A and B are shown apart, each in its own frame.
Chain A
């Protein structure tokens, strides 16, 4: 019998983590960039590996591997008046589900959780569709959870990609 991970945490933790993930999806879809940066710890990273089996982003090819500085750079670029590939409009809609608490540190309250996402992106009169698995390493702080690492495993990791990904998924 596989272990029932849902029993790793309390209903309160499950609810708090779910609300955190739903809020993150809203922030991204609404392009609230200051709030986005605020979701991460100071050393937090957003990581989309180039290989499904990849265990680290260091010194390996990645699709995304960004700290707060690189994330801020990306925000400055998409908000720049001459970012012409963004001028036609770029809208996304995320659904996050299947939230499972994989582990919860009883002493610190830190959590590792997995979830699944579906995302549609509309740009230039065409819609693209992405899906995959999030693995969040969340630190518990006085102000709630903060992301230390968000691993994003997309289903179509080998591509080929139609256009590029201008913002995070």
Chain B
């Protein structure tokens, strides 16, 4: 462990390489929770995930277990999933509804709480008379230190201090703007299904892979070939164009030069964007109907502006990978240095024709479901990375040299010179270093 060798966390990150301890060392991981996951804003869920009073979903901020729920007055709350009495987990299911009384009820001693965490009732409460006021905050379910929402996407921070949500999101806001703007009603509606897949690798390996433009045609060669072959078979046998999902996979046969022609944009706080038009505007009836529905609201000029937004993929560091043009969202929940839970969601666009949802659903199936042929090979690489990085010997550093020092920076925003520049990794590690070396980083 480098820290034991009198090296601080900042020394693990150099401009063009990082130490393997960033990925494989449990002490580094514990510090990441304190300095990053318990300091920054973390995505909790979407407001439409809890449409009715009493609805709740559970999730994680680092090792903290959290609840997002809706109260009778319509307010959405983010609470720690813990009974203030004896510490029992209150919600043991992934999601549900708290019932007719809209109260959380602890399974152990039946303490009851309103959906904002305030105490409603305790059995035999005379035992507390003259000892403690039942309105005392220490007898309430604790709320997240801060909570915020941007266009229906709810975040929480376990730190009282730090930038407000919108300031922090900065260049990452485009993830949610692009999703919502594509909806004629300006809002996204979550589909109430969460695919959860455990990766046997560090959380950063996943985020780095998301904007790694060199890997798709190499890692996913087999899937690209299989899909391209079946496009031909489908056409021959049916005389019809294959469903769009085939093309999502056949894209993995694109030549490396094509991927290299994209560009990535690094924003403050580690948020990073892959610019690349996804070619989702053929002249098919679904696209035309979508264009018409947006034109009816905004006029043609604004419709064109919305649908030609040049964003393929957005990382909101450290917690999200979002693909706005296809309304996909993957939340990153680090469980250990070598174990990461991903929570995978997709959205409908309010007011858009149903056929637009079919594209989102097809992508959700082919790329993000537990039967995905795409991530099968990603997960295999992630695991192999983690296992290699955990070796004691064989070298200490990870190379991030591709186009290092060549990407122009303007007003704190970096634009990569090539699609394959390792700018996204360097940008995220620059933020990592800032978080990990900030004053009072321990928060203990």
Contacts and interface: CB of A to CB of B under 8 A. Distances in A.
Interface of A: 48, 50-51, 59-65, 69-70, 72-74, 76-78, 80-85, 124, 158-166
B297 interface: no
B138 interface: no
Contact of A161 (B196, B234, B358): B196
B66 to A, nearest CB: 17
A61 B365 contact: yes
B225 interface: yes
A51 B193 CA distance: 8
A69 B235 CA distance: 11
A77 B227 CA distance: 8
A164 B221 contact: no
B357 interface: yes
Nearest to A61: B193
A65 to B, nearest CB: 7
The 9 tightest CB contacts between A and B, nearest first, are: A80-B222, A85-B380, A76-B226, A160-B196, A83-B222, A77-B226, A159-B196, A61-B193, A82-B221
A76 B230 contact: yes
Contact of A50 (B94, B193, B219, B227): B193
A80 B371 contact: no
Contact of B373 (A82, A162, A166): A166
A129 B358 CA distance: 32
A164 B372 contact: yes
A164 B225 contact: no
Nearest to B358: A59
A91 B393 CA distance: 32
A65 B380 contact: no
Contacts of B222: 77-78, 80-84
Nearest to A76: B226
B198 A162 contact: yes
26 contacts: A48-B371, A50-B369, A51-B193, A60-B361, A61-B191, A61-B365, A63-B195, A63-B370, A63-B371, A69-B233, A69-B242, A72-B230, A72-B233, A73-B227, A77-B223, A82-B221, A83-B376, A84-B222, A85-B379, A85-B380, A159-B196, A161-B195, A163-B200, A164-B372, A165-B371, A166-B371
B197 interface: yes
Interface of B: 94, 191, 193, 195-198, 200, 219, 221-223, 225-227, 229-230, 233-234, 242, 246, 249, 341, 346, 354, 357-358, 361, 364-365, 369-373, 375-377, 379-381, 383
Given A77-B226, A159-B197, A85 B233 contact: no
**Interface core residue of B191, B197, B346, B380 (most chain A CB under 10 Å):** B380
B339 to A, nearest CB: 10
Nearest to A169: B371
Nearest to A65: B365
A61 B233 contact: no
A26 B93 CA distance: 37
Contacts of B221: 80, 82
A133 B222 CA distance: 31
B230 A85 contact: no
Given A80-B222, A161-B198, A59 B361 contact: yes
A160 B341 contact: yes
Contacts of A161: 195-198, 370
A33 to B, nearest CB: 12
Contact of B376 (A48, A62, A76, A164): A164
A62 B230 contact: no
A157 B234 CA distance: 31
Given A158-B196, A162-B200, 15 more contacts: A69-B234, A70-B230, A76-B225, A76-B226, A76-B229, A77-B226, A80-B222, A84-B219, A159-B195, A160-B196, A160-B198, A164-B369, A164-B372, A164-B379, A165-B370
